Amino acid sequence: MKKSLLALMLLSGCATQGIDRADQNQVIKEFYAAVESVQEVELSSNVKTGILSGTVVGVTEELDGNHEDMIAGGMAGALVGGLFTAIFEGSNKAYEFTLNSKQEGAFTLVQKELIDIKSGCVKVRVSSTAAISPVEKERCADLK
């Protein structure tokens, strides 16, 4: 029991709540925005390119064999290329948020995560990427 507690204390000491390392040397801007609308959208996919690339690699690897080996290599390459591309990309489902703020005016943001927007107000954090999070309705009282 004592060993488990000691290990837990050591592990919790490793997790600091400092500034994200990715935010170094970045201009970070935060502001509040009113949510005008949200709609589900589909992201583009490179699975077809992965299949084609896998096919080319599979056929090329079997060039020293007969045409049956090349066909089998192409089929295996297509399967592996398409599968790895699909796994790497993840879901093609995302959400397009139409937002409005005093600073930025009307704009849209596409992200994979659907957040709770019951308040109709979000905090937008822009650095090298942008993300939004739900906040109290009062934050956007003067935006509508």
Q: Rounded distance, CA 55 to CA 2, Å?
A: 56
Q: Comparing 49-58, 59-68, 95-104, 119-128, which segment has the lowest mean pLDDT?
A: 59-68
3 pLDDT above the threshold of 60: no
pTM comes to 0.60
Better-predicted residue by pLDDT, 96 or 28: 96
Q: Rounded distance, CA 70 to CA 93, Å?
A: 36
Query: What CATH number is given to the structural domain containing 127?
Result: 2.40.50
Asked if residue 101 and residue 37 are part of one domain, the reply reads yes
Q: What percent of the chain has pLDDT over 70?
A: 85
Instruction: Give the type of residue at 84.
Output: F
Q: Which domain holds residue 52?
A: 47-89
Average pLDDT over residues 15-30: 72
118 pLDDT above the threshold of 80: yes
Q: Rounded distance, CA 122 to CA 130, Å?
A: 12
Specify the pLDDT at position 67: 79
In a domain, 12, yes or no: no
Asked if residue 106 and residue 39 are part of one domain, the reply reads yes
1 pLDDT above the threshold of 80: no
Cβ–Cβ < 8 Å for 45, 26: no
Average pLDDT over residues 24-34: 83
Number of domains in the chain: 2
Asked if residue 55 and residue 29 are part of one domain, the reply reads no
Closest CA to 81 of 59, 61, 52: 52
Asked if residue 25 and residue 64 are part of one domain, the reply reads no
Q: How confident is the model at residue 23 (pLDDT cuts 50, 70, 90)?
A: low
Q: How confident is the model at residue 137 (pLDDT cuts 50, 70, 90)?
A: confident
Average pLDDT over residues 70-77: 84
Specify the pLDDT at position 96: 93
In a domain, 8, yes or no: no
Q: Is the dihedral of CA 55, 93, 91, 127 positive or negative?
A: positive
Specify the pLDDT at position 115: 87
Asked if residue 71 and residue 129 are part of one domain, the reply reads no
In a domain, 134, yes or no: yes
